[in-house]
A and B are shown apart, each in its own frame.
Chain A
Amino acid sequence: MSETSQPTGAVAPGDVNRRVGVEVIRERGVDVEALIEKLIDNAAAEFASTYYYYSILRMYLAGHEDYKEICEDARLEDRQHYELILPRIYELGGSLPYSLHEFADRAGCPAAYLPGTDNGAHPPAEPPPAAEILTVLLESERCAIRSWQAICDICAGKDPRTYDLAARILNEEIEHEAWFIELLAMERDGQVRPSGHFRRGAPGEAPYSRNRPFAHGGS
């Protein structure tokens, strides 16, 4: 018996219009189009709701240099989350909106506005208290946890690649929440709520979500 070229599954040999990497997860029950929409909403939240607005929040933490450093880690790691998930959107056949305005409007979490600015309408009349800034940071991280957990729930056992990426992001969002609980509990309530925080090796190190070769330890 000679071997013949047999199409397998939904993608014919040589077909460049469809991807086996997409069809295999569709065959396992993932609504790929709905997943793409969720990933874009989450990417928008990382980029437009937190990375951008955390840049402003950190500018108002003068005198709280420890808070500023930790805010900076969260800020840079949220950008890394955007960078990590972006290629997956395109792999699945999706695309970023062609307007940044549209992208920001569809974010899955609220913008982390600086307190005292009426949702970014004007500069604050007074420097916002650190506790209010920490509260914004904490609630932003909580929304991110819920959003990435939802992706993991959709992909578990069906789409290992998206699951892996979302889980890496989720790991860091959970750390961020614990950091801000620790800081807010002391700043606002004088209470100790240890987070297990260790200083990142470099600002925004993103130990889970930065792409790098595992075999060589990365750099």
Chain B
Amino acid sequence: MTGGEQPARYRVTFELPTGETRTVEAGGEEYVLTAGRRAGLELPSRCEVGWDLACAVRVLSGELDHTDARRYYDQDREAGYALICRAKPRSDLRLRTHQATAMRDHRYAHHLPTPRAV
């Protein structure tokens, strides 16, 4: 970003297990979980370093940056899973929350290491 540019802002839409949909604004340099919680959403997490799967979501549309996640595989991205505690938005997003069990099963299916508890 140069002097006069505004920092990137994105719209993140969460599909919650209740059927409710909430859209919040997230900065390009903040984690998606942080933005969701700032808006008052009750989103699960545990390790908060992009390692366990408590914060897992399904990416319905959009791009995220997982550079800061401690364990995130190409297969996770290809299957459409994200760990939002350590993922930054790179576009507007639509995410389905509470996907820890599904992401764990995906890791098992691909013989990838994973915490078992979700």
What is the CA–CA distance of A150 and B117 in the complex, to the nearest angstrom? 11
User: With a CB–CB cut-off of 8 A, which chain A residues contact B117?
Assistant: 34, 37-38, 40-41, 108
Q: What is the predominant secondary structure among interface residues of chain B facing chain A?
A: loop
What is the CA–CA distance of A41 and B47 in the complex, to the nearest angstrom? 11
User: With a CB–CB cut-off of 8 A, which chain B residues contact A150?
Assistant: 46
Residues 31-46 of chain B, each 1 if its beta carbon lies under 8 Å from chain A, else 0: 0000000000000011
What is the CA–CA distance of A37 and B118 in the complex, to the nearest angstrom? 9
Give the most central of B49, B51, B52: most A CB within 10 Å. B52
A146 within 8 Å of B (CB atoms)? yes
**What bracket does the count of chain B residues touching chain A fall in?**
10 to 19
Is the Cβ of A106 less than 8 Å from the Cβ of B47?
A: no
What is the CA–CA distance of A158 and B49 in the complex, to the nearest angstrom? 29
User: With a CB–CB cut-off of 8 A, which chain B residues contact A108?
Assistant: 46-47, 51-52, 115, 117
User: With a CB–CB cut-off of 8 A, which chain A residues contact B11?
Assistant: none
**What bracket does the count of chain A residues touching chain B fall in?**
10 to 19
A109 within 8 Å of B (CB atoms)? yes
B71 within 8 Å of A (CB atoms)? yes
The smallest C-beta distance from B35 to any residue of chain A, in angstroms, reads: 19
Residues on B facing A (Cβ under 8 Å)? 45-49, 51-52, 70-71, 113-117
A-B interface, 7 closest residue pairs, ranked by CB to CB distance from nearest: A105-B113, A38-B117, A37-B117, A110-B70, A41-B115, A41-B117, A37-B116
Identify 16 new A-B residue pairs, CB closer than 8 A, beyond the known A109-B47, A146-B47. A34-B117, A40-B117, A105-B113, A105-B114, A106-B113, A106-B114, A108-B46, A108-B115, A109-B49, A109-B51, A110-B70, A139-B49, A142-B48, A143-B47, A143-B49, A150-B46
